[in-house]
């Protein structure tokens, strides 16, 4: 595994100031606090180095099939374990709706720089488009930045949100590799990076960050 960025790795990558962040982020480390997963947002994603790809098929079929496994295959994609919860509530309805309206003409890219194209401000703008209905507590949203056939990796911003205010408490860019053998089809090829990122969240400096930012 060659993860270039580790969750909670550096204070400089966090969106808010230390004081503002500490007031809300400590709930992330409290297993009794409600946490809801809203899926993967692909609205900003770029597919790099895959000119033969059918972007309409990717948007209509492959993005939903890549979004669902985190919820439907909990033994493989151990999201609850990653955030030290016995359970995590899930709601993919809004991310599915937003992903279905992606402009297909903007999906494919031949620019290697698009693998590093987003900033925390871009993630904040994405979060503001979500309603989060009547959910309380904290939310988790994965915002996909890019899939790179050249790098054989995908990049995501793992984002923690205060659902009452829609403020981003933490967003961290992480990458995962497609694996040694990749896989057949878009979904199978690009599912492993998501799994690697989820595994890395749990294997990173979770306890050290919990001590730093608080939590019960």
Tens-place pLDDT, residues 45-73? 999 999 999 999 999 999 999 999 999 99
128-174 confidence digits (pLDDT tens): 999 998 899 999 999 999 999 999 999 999 999 999 999 999 999 99
Query: Quick one: average pLDDT of 35-47?
Result: 98
Share of the chain above pLDDT 70, in %: 81
Which residues are within 8 A (CB) of 143 and not within 5 positions of it... i.e. 6 or more apart?
40, 41, 44, 118, 123, 126, 156, 157, 159, 171
Domain presence at residue 101: yes
- In DSSP terms, 158 is beta-bridged to 142, 172
Query: Quick one: average pLDDT of 121-134?
Result: 95
As a whole number of angstroms, the distance between CA 149 and CA 48 comes to 6
Helix (H) / strand (E) element for 202: namely helix 185-203
pLDDT of residue 61: 96
Q: How many domains does the chain have?
A: 1
As a whole number of angstroms, the distance between CA 24 and CA 36 comes to 15
Domain presence at residue 3: no
Which residues are within 8 A (CB) of 75 and not within 5 positions of it... i.e. 6 or more apart?
none
Domain presence at residue 20: yes
Domain presence at residue 147: yes
Dihedral, CA of residue 44, residue 33, residue 73 and residue 92, to nearest 10: -40
As a whole number of angstroms, the distance between CA 90 and CA 105 comes to 30
Domain presence at residue 1: no
Domain presence at residue 4: no
Helix (H) / strand (E) element for 206: namely helix 206-213
Domain presence at residue 191: yes
Domain presence at residue 99: yes
Residue 178's SS3 state is coil
The pTM (predicted TM-score) of the whole model is 0.86
First-last CA distance in the chain? 32
For 31, the domain range is 11-210
Residue 52's SS3 state is coil
């Amino acid at each position: 595994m060659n993860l270039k960025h580790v969750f909670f790795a550096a204070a400089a990558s966090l969106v808010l100031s230390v004081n503002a962040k500490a007031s809300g982020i400590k709930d992330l480390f409290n297993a009794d606090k409600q946490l809801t997963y809203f899926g993967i947002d692909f609205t900003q994603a770029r597919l790099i180095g895959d000119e033969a790809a059918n972007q309409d098929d990717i948007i209509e079929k492959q993005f939903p099939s890549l979004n669902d496994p985190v919820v439907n295959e909990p033994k493989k994609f151990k999201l609850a374990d990653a955030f030290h919860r016995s359970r995590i509530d899930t709601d993919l309805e809004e991310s599915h709706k937003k992903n279905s309206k992606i402009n297909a003409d903007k999906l494919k890219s031949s620019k290697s720089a698009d693998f590093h194209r987003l900033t925390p401000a871009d993630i904040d703008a994405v979060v503001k488009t979500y309603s989060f209905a009547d959910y309380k507590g904290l939310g988790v949203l994965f915002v996909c930045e890019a899939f790179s056939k050249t790098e054989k990796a995908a990049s995501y911003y793992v984002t923690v949100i205060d659902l009452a205010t829609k403020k981003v408490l933490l967003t961290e860019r992480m990458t995962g590799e497609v694996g040694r053998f990749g896989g057949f089809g878009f979904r199978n090829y690009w599912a492993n990076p998501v799994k690697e990122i989820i595994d890395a969240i749990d294997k990173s400096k979770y306890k050290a960050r919990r001590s730093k930012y608080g939590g019960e």
